[in-house]
Structure 1
């Protein structure tokens, strides 16, 4: 299938691509947010196979690109882009009759952090994105997400990527600083992940549940990149979680 590109800003990395399934399709939209420790070396090509697979399973998928460190991203630009990129579903929905009452985000690694941030961005302190979102999110599937930025900063993960992104104050975008979210969060984590420690997902889920939120830790076999292999079992678990969230919304 050939996706349709929508620009949400003037920059070369401010766009999303819509993958439409054949009719009839399941209600709702899945937003795919790629990872790469927020760095420009990694792009939406990582999310394209997942968006294609979701469309093959009857779901309209929105593969989101955004500015990253090295090509104009950082704080607040990366976050402004993610917010604007999700809100850009509004014109796409008008063009294709999409149901924006059911929008789920699936994000890998740094994309998991961005997904959780986007799902509850109004709850985060010192948000840079102003008024509430045009598109509400009804659930998140985080794939080995960086969900405890304070601890990731302490560990200096990926050559101090968190500090490079946010500076010393990570609370403005740390998922752990805004628990509980008003939507379910599934923290899927690869059992042999050497890039993002499983404690990033465990600690988030523990805090969210203790605060009265709905969150669940789900271990899956494989390494960090098994989660974005559309032929693998780890991705199949994530896909079923996305489909379930859309069905229940």
Structure 2
């Protein structure tokens, strides 16, 4: 009998030690150095479909910023898809946490509509893609119209997102806070949702906003040791019960880093889903 094939996951240095591609432009939406968006533009001259990209890093600037997504952003650019790669102040930075991390993400997303004409971006074809903690923020951005009327996070005209793809995300903050094995720890959640509030999850955790009314794909590695697999399956059950169209894609021989490495099976599946979602949104 042949020996079972062992799986060796990619490490962060396996990704970040590669030659780094560069964006075509950087946009500021505030005075802080983290209040930036990198814009990746394909050569095509027709209106460009857009991926709104959100990095992870446990909602902490000291762990990751938008540059972690450079390699997949460049891969999409080469494939004819523009990328709006946002940054935001993490909970470990002045002005981050609640509400700053959320308002930053919202302002960065809404800036896309402001600059769409300048960069020839097609606002009818916007797909949000978030990795890890960024998966939570990507889903939150798509569900902003469902925020309680009393929430300070509400905005008048949130960017319309046609589809969300979460890569090893953490959509359910209540479940994350109750799970010490979540890869980010539990203390960070308290900083993210705010302390001293009667119900800190009402406008921050995606299950509280369901149904968000936007198709969702969750891509998770079966060998992910950072984000427990149940974070995806438990959320899928809640979202489906609420009436949202949500599909879980389980990728074998895949950890957490593989989800944003352009040569992997996981990223190949993500690109397939991005193309399908952009094509579908273009028909509406």
TM-score by length of 1: 0.94
Contact 1:121–1:127 (CA under 8 A) maintained in structure 2: no
| 2:110 is the alignment partner of 1:80 | no
The equivalent residue for 2:128 is: 105
Matched residues, number: 249
Contact 1:122–1:132 (CA under 8 A) maintained in structure 2: no
For residue 235 of structure 1, give the secondary structure of its aligned residue in structure 2.
helix
CA RMSD of aligned residues (A): 1.6
For residue 39 of structure 2, give the secondary structure of its aligned residue in structure 1.
strand
Larger radius of gyration between Structure 1 and Structure 2? 2
Question: Aligned equivalents of 1:192 and 1:26: distance in 2?
Answer: 38
Contact 1:226–1:235 (CA under 8 A) maintained in structure 2: yes
The equivalent residue for 1:177 is: 208
Contact 1:25–1:60 (CA under 8 A) maintained in structure 2: no
The equivalent residue for 2:191 is: 164
Please show how residues 200-239 of structure 1 align to structure 2 within 5 Å: 200-221=231-252, 222-239=254-271
Q: What is the Cα deviation at residue 118 of structure 1?
A: 0.3
Question: Aligned equivalents of 1:90 and 1:128: distance in 2?
Answer: 21
| 2:224 is the alignment partner of 1:193 | yes
Q: What is the Cα deviation at residue 233 of structure 1?
A: 1.1
1:241 to 273, 276, 279: 273
| 2:52 is the alignment partner of 1:31 | yes
- Mark the runs of 5 or more structure 2 residues left unpaired by the alignment: 1-21
| 2:69 is the alignment partner of 1:47 | yes
Contact 1:67–1:78 (CA under 8 A) maintained in structure 2: yes
The equivalent residue for 2:90 is: 68
- Mark the runs of 5 or more structure 1 residues left unpaired by the alignment: none
- CA 1:244 to 1:27, structure 2 compared with 1: closer, same or farther past 3 Å? farther
TM-score by length of 2: 0.83
Q: What is the Cα deviation at residue 60 of structure 1?
A: 0.7
Q: What is the Cα deviation at residue 141 of structure 1?
A: 0.2
The equivalent residue for 1:116 is: 139
Question: Aligned equivalents of 2:224 and 2:71: distance in 1?
Answer: 20
For residue 32 of structure 1, give the secondary structure of its aligned residue in structure 2.
strand
Q: What is the Cα deviation at residue 77 of structure 1?
A: 0.4
Bigger CA drift: 157-166 or 190-199?
A: 157-166
- CA 1:88 to 1:150, structure 2 compared with 1: closer, same or farther past 3 Å? same
Question: Aligned equivalents of 2:179 and 2:67: distance in 1?
Answer: 28
Contact 1:50–1:228 (CA under 8 A) maintained in structure 2: yes
Contact 1:32–1:50 (CA under 8 A) maintained in structure 2: no
For residue 141 of structure 2, give the secondary structure of its aligned residue in structure 1.
helix
Question: Aligned equivalents of 2:23 and 2:226: distance in 1?
Answer: 32
Question: Aligned equivalents of 1:153 and 1:167: distance in 2?
Answer: 13
Question: Aligned equivalents of 2:222 and 2:201: distance in 1?
Answer: 26
Bigger CA drift: 141-150 or 1-10?
A: 1-10
